[in-house]
Amino acid sequence: MLWFDGGLTEGPVPFDLGDRGLTLGDGVFDTALARHGRILFEAAHVDRLATATATLGFPVAPERIAEAMRDLAEAAGRVHPLAAIRTTVTRGSGPRGLGPPAAPRPVLWASAAPVGDALAFAPLTLHPTEIRRNETSPAASLKTLGYLDAVLAAGAARAAGFDEALFRNTRGHVACAGTANLFAVVDATLVTPPLSDGVLPGILRGEVLSGCASRLGLPVAERSVGLEALLRADAVFVTNSLRGLAPVTAIGETAFASADHPVVAALIADLRDAFAP
């Protein structure tokens, strides 16, 4: 199921083979969870995607993004209780070369896919990758279409028997999982890498920091963490919009009882209300 050019369609849809999203990865995207036709944390998803397009110089109105997300979520909700709503915006077509068009005409579309109920809050394992997250790149803070590093790292992680890749940045600090933000519990404090370490400002990351932690009275620290320090944490978990909060049971050969940690259990209980119908 698709939303394209102002309305819902079953596809296929026409697509310009000169679109810069296709030829140069010149675009951004967002993935949100729709539950019974309603986008969870909708305002945050819309704002992040609209801000990204404005930052890159091809602004799309938040109202247009919201329309695509809502129309698709409502239609998908009539078929699937849970659906992943991916909304993509490219700069559109342009002249040959790297230089962007003087007057970009952004292309916006969205797609829906069913999500299994078992995905939310399910534990996972992480495989440290030698591919490094480039914290010096402006793109590190945006969900751009250039995801090849994550694709390759995910394939290597699966081949090694793990669920997700764990990225460090060029300075050796832990940054994130392949598709999720990273948290550690150290002496009852929530520790997460700062955005300056090449971290995407995830929607659930923000909810944990500004919502859950505040409601539960948990201290929070955004600070750089090395891999060895992470392996000594009391518990580790990752967050993203489809998984919610996923306890980490292993990083490489180091095992964690994260799901049984009282801080992680309290956070999951708090977030479940947001994921409820």
> Mind giving me the DSSP string for 164-221?
EEEEEETTSBEEEESSSEEEEEETTEEEE--GGGT----HHHHHIIIIIHHHHT--EE
Compute the distance between CA of residue 213 and CA of residue 263 in angstroms, rounded to an integer.
10
Closest to 41 in 3D by CA, of 69, 74, 5, 75: 69
pLDDT attached to residue 11: 83
Its sign, for the CA torsion 96, 100, 106, 111, is positive
Average pLDDT over residues 100-104: 95
Looking at the predicted structure, is the pLDDT value of residue 22 above 80?
yes
Based on the number of CB atoms within 10 Å of its own CB, is 28 exposed (0-12), middle (13-18) or buried (19 or more)? buried
The answer to pTM > 0.85 is yes
Average pLDDT over residues 240-251: 97
Residue the block writes with tokens 């309290």: 266
Omega within 30 of 0 (cis) for the link into 114: no
Structural domains of the chain in order of their starting residue, each with its CATH number? 2-115 (3.30.470.10), 124-275 (3.20.10.10)
What is the chain's mean pLDDT, rounded?
Answer: 96
pLDDT attached to residue 274: 80
Looking at the predicted structure, is the pLDDT value of residue 277 above 70?
no
Residue the block writes with tokens 């078992």: 118
Residues 186-237: tens digit of each pLDDT: 999 999 999 999 999 999 999 999 999 999 999 999 999 999 999 999 999 9
Residues 60-88: tens digit of each pLDDT: 999 999 999 999 999 999 999 999 999 99
Compute the distance between CA of residue 266 and CA of residue 80 in angstroms, rounded to an integer.
29
Looking at the predicted structure, is the pLDDT value of residue 5 above 90?
no
Q: Would you say 104 and 92 are in contact if contact means Cβ atoms under 8 Å apart?
A: yes
Looking at the predicted structure, is the pLDDT value of residue 276 above 80?
no
Average pLDDT over residues 27-53: 97
